[in-house]
Structure 1
Amino acid sequence: MAEIELRNVNKWFGALQVIKDVSLTVADREFVVFLGPSGCGKTTTLRAIAGLEDIGSGEILLDGKPIHDLRAPDRDIAFVFQNYALYPHFTVYENLAFPLRAVGTSKSEVDSTVKSVANSLGITHMLKTRPSALSGGDMQRVAIGRALVRRPKALLLDEPIGSLDAKMREQMRIELKRLHYENGSTSIYVTHDQVEAMSLADRIVVMHDGVLQQVGTPTEVYLHPANLFVAQFIGSPVMNITPTKITDAGGKAQINLDREQFELPGELLGQLQSKQAGNDLSLGVRPEGVLVSHDDQPGYRPVEAHIIQPFGGFDIVDLKIGDEVLRARTQSGFVPKPGTRVFARIDPSQAHFFDSTSGQSLDIRLGE
């Protein structure tokens, strides 16, 4: 059992509050990813759990027992840093063995544990090698292995693959996922890379300015963003966000974007009008929710393709609607060149609505 719980945790650096009343429970064997921009408080929160930072107020519990007053070595939590932090004069074997030798583990147990962890990481052939002869990915494997040999209750990882190239990051993501399944340790992983978060996490904790913005599965935070920050931080390209007005068009909800109007089903009209109630609204729709056609069909409006970004299996096309731009995802080559006249509509099942002032989602979705 290795449940981690944060209760109303706050942290200040002088007058600057970097963690603001954070409460969160990470279940036993769960893989949770802290995601957010630089300076949002995610690494400081991770370091506070590890005991590398003191907290100003609140509680941190491991298996229901408070640990926020314990020294880092007494918390039974392993920490993997971004910069590897290997001993350069030690071989890989000696680096892996060091945490065990430091607590007086027997020679035979050290040897069996090191070889077992090295085998799971695929670095057995490197055991006699020094870090200077290793690639960045191999050094990170050794750093992770040095954390795993202790069999800690929890494993904390601070952007461990952020300095690797794109191909190596992809490979390491797969390795980290596999290791988590095999070892079953409770894991918290910090990153600013949403691809890492979406591919690794059981749940994602989105942070901004020291505040938890949303906690949910990758699917939940992508399909049901809690606010404008999450909507525009998750997804690549990000969600289209544009101010809008809702009017009644013969029982249907009419959305006004610049000089064009898009219609949505009437079942949304009452909800939108009551929520609008004099407040400014913003429409959110992801690029795959902007439907594009070469033919003029009911509900579609004429638009002009502006910028086309090919991504191999698909294109991202910027569509000009007056002074507004809607970004759409299409099949590769569907829009042949900029300036092409096409027709677009908004998929009503993928339309999101937000209060423009507070940024909060209005939780209005078709069929919900």
Structure 2
Amino acid sequence: MTQIELRGVEKFFGPVQVIKDLNLVVDHNEFVVLLGQSGCGKTTTLRAIAGLESIDRGDILIDGRRVQHMKASDRDIAFVFQSFALYPHMTVFENIAFPLKATRKSRAEVDSEVRSVAETLRITHLLAKRPSALSGGDMQRVAIGRALVRRPKALLMDEPIGALDAKLREEMRAEIKRLHMKQGSTTIYVTHDQVEAMSLADRIVIMHEGVLQQVGSPMEVYADPANLFVAQFVGSPVMNVAPVSVSEDAGKARVILDGAGQGFAFPSELLARLQAGNAVNGALALGIRPEGVTVAREQRDGFLPVQVHIVEPLGSYDIVDLKVGSQMLRARTSSGLVAPSDERVFAHIDPAQAHFFDTASGNSLGVKL
């Protein structure tokens, strides 16, 4: 059993605070992804867990034992860097075996462990080769093998596939997920790529400017973002966010985008829920993902006339930018539904997929219909 816990962790580089009161528990066998923009503190957090960075306040616990004052070598944690960091003069076998030889294991034990890990990573046929003869994906497999061979308590990975091309990244994502499921090790993975986070994680930890913003499963952070930062960081294309006002109109709630004039009809219960959440017109924003915006070529009940601005054809579907007054909404449509011109079409917002945010604090109001 390997559990990693951070309690009130803070880290300063001079006057700059890069980790702010971070509290997090990573359970045994869990795959947790730290997701955020460059400079948000995710790599510093990972390095602090590994013992490569000291912390200024708080506790880091591994299996209930405080380790912040222990050397990295005493924490029994393996670290995989973005750079492969392989020894160029050694073969793949020798690179993977290096951590075992440092512990003075017998030749038979080393051979058995290396071949076992190589078989798991599907690189047995590469054991006699040197790094210069390997592809980027194979070199990263070797780096992962070197980390795994000594059976560490936990595996920490810092953007391990960031240097690979798109096709190799896709292959390695599947390989890392397969490896985790087979090995069952506690894993913390750092990335700024939300696709990696969504496809790999049991839980995603989203950070911004050193502050933990939200922790949840991939679907939780996608479907129920805690604030505007999460809403616009997770998802591709990002969630539409626009300032709105809400009023009562003929027994329904009317949601009007600033500068749009006309409004989208919502169930009347929206007004009561917004009032319960202390929402204030003038400090209210609507969030809706592109798949929550429906586009039709003919007028339908509840649809508003809008103007096509830009169409991005992506094969199986299109992303369409729609002008709603002075605001812009992005919609996901079937391929070829609208032409890439200033065509007039009609749009509808699905109330069940709408989110409402307090623009002053950025926090979600938790209003779901």
Find the counterpart in structure 2 of residue 248 from structure 1: 248
Q: Residue by residue, what CA displacement relative to the aligned partner does 1:31-70 show, whole Å, maximum 9, x if unpaired?
A: 0000000000000000000000000010000111111111
Letter in 2 for 1:221: V
Find the counterpart in structure 2 of residue 215 from structure 1: 215
Give distance in 2, aligned partners of 1:340 and 1:133: 54
TM-score normalised over the length of structure 1:
0.98
Find the counterpart in structure 2 of residue 287 from structure 1: 290
Letter in 1 for 2:327: E
Residues 246 and 272 of structure 1 are in contact (CA less than 8 Å); yes or no, is this contact kept in structure 2?
Answer: no
Find the counterpart in structure 2 of residue 267 from structure 1: 269
Matched-pair identity in %: 65
Give distance in 2, aligned partners of 1:279 and 1:330: 31
Find the counterpart in structure 2 of residue 304 from structure 1: 307
Residues 46 and 158 of structure 1 are in contact (CA less than 8 Å); yes or no, is this contact kept in structure 2?
Answer: yes
Find the counterpart in structure 2 of residue 332 from structure 1: 335
Letter in 1 for 2:337: F
5 Å-filtered alignment, 1:1-368, equals 1-257=1-257, 258-274=260-276, 275-277=278-280, 280-366=283-369
Letter in 1 for 2:191: T
Residues 279 and 355 of structure 1 are in contact (CA less than 8 Å); yes or no, is this contact kept in structure 2?
Answer: no
Runs of 4+ aligned structure 1 residues displaced above 3 Å come to none
SS at 2:84's partner residue?
Answer: coil
Deviates more, 1:78-87 or 1:257-266: 257-266
Q: Residue by residue, what CA displacement relative to the aligned partner does 1:108-142 show, whole Å, maximum 9, x if unpaired?
A: 11000000100111111111111111111110000
Q: Residue by residue, what CA displacement relative to the aligned partner does 1:64-86 show, whole Å, maximum 9, x if unpaired?
A: 11111110010010000000111
Distance 1:361 1:231, change over 3 A: same
Instruction: Tell me how far 1:322 sits from its aligned partner.
Output: 1.3
The alignment yields a C-alpha RMSD, in angstroms, of 0.8
Residues 243 and 282 of structure 2 are in contact (CA less than 8 Å); yes or no, is this contact kept in structure 1?
Answer: no
Residues 34 and 188 of structure 1 are in contact (CA less than 8 Å); yes or no, is this contact kept in structure 2?
Answer: yes
Letter in 2 for 1:201: A
Instruction: Tell me how far 1:278 sits from its aligned partner.
Output: 5.5
Count of residue pairs the alignment pairs up: 366
Residues 246 and 281 of structure 2 are in contact (CA less than 8 Å); yes or no, is this contact kept in structure 1?
Answer: no
Give distance in 2, aligned partners of 1:212 and 1:26: 14
SS at 2:242's partner residue?
Answer: strand
Residues 222 and 234 of structure 2 are in contact (CA less than 8 Å); yes or no, is this contact kept in structure 1?
Answer: yes
Structure 1 spans left out of the alignment, 5+ residues: none
Q: Residue by residue, what CA displacement relative to the aligned partner does 1:293-314 show, whole Å, maximum 9, x if unpaired?
A: 1121111000111100011110
Give distance in 1, aligned partners of 2:342 and 2:99: 63
SS at 1:140's partner residue?
Answer: helix
Instruction: Tell me how far 1:9 sits from its aligned partner.
Output: 0.2
Give distance in 1, aligned partners of 2:310 and 2:339: 11
Residues 82 and 163 of structure 1 are in contact (CA less than 8 Å); yes or no, is this contact kept in structure 2?
Answer: yes
Structure 2 spans left out of the alignment, 5+ residues: none
SS at 2:309's partner residue?
Answer: strand
Give distance in 1, aligned partners of 2:360 and 2:292: 24
Instruction: Tell me how far 1:336 sits from its aligned partner.
Output: 2.2
SS at 2:143's partner residue?
Answer: helix
SS at 1:113's partner residue?
Answer: helix
Instruction: Tell me how far 1:105 sits from its aligned partner.
Output: 1.2
Q: Residue by residue, what CA displacement relative to the aligned partner does 1:271-326 show, whole Å, maximum 9, x if unpaired?
A: 12342246610000000001111121111000111100011110000001111110
